[in-house]
Structure 1
Amino acid sequence: MALDSQLLEILACPDTHHTPLTYDADAATLTCPECSRVFEVRDGIPVLLLDEARRPGEAS
């Protein structure tokens, strides 16, 4: 399920820098270009919890 383009415009990393996220529809993830955290999109809902984010190379 693709995320709404208006939602993608306002989504930002929940860490203190609040950098806009990059969406990968094929992987169903949102990535922060500043801290490299990867947030999953589950059933069309972005999970923007720092505790559940992973760094590149970590198992999902």
Structure 2
Amino acid sequence: MPLSEELLRILACPACDDRPPLRQENEESLVCDKCHRHYPIRDGIIELLVEEETEQQAQG
């Protein structure tokens, strides 16, 4: 199911300093056009985790 335009306007890439907007690539992911990171949508929940940060937290 596509996300609403209102929601897409407020979502931004957490990995980019200037927080560019994300676009829905398909029903299973969002993508940042600037850094090309993909953020999965699983069971209707958008996972805006940056991999490097997640790995550091697991090690720390």
**TM-score, normalised via structure 1 length:** 0.70
CA distances 1:10-39 after superposition (whole Å, capped 9, x unpaired):
10000222010010234x110000000000
Q: Which has the larger radius of gyration?
A: 2
Structure 2 distance, partners of 1:23, 1:44, is 13
Structure 1 distance, partners of 2:23, 2:2, is 13
Q: Which residue of 2 aligns with 1:7?
A: 7
The 8 Å contact of residues 2 and 24 in structure 2, kept in 1 or not, is answered as no
**Structure 1 unpaired stretches of 5+:** 53-60
Q: Which residue of 2 aligns with 1:22?
A: 23
Give the structure with the higher percent strand.
Answer: 2
**Structure 2 unpaired stretches of 5+:** 53-60
Give the structure with the higher percent helix.
Answer: 2
**Percent identity over paired residues:** 43
Q: Which residue of 2 aligns with 1:45?
A: 45
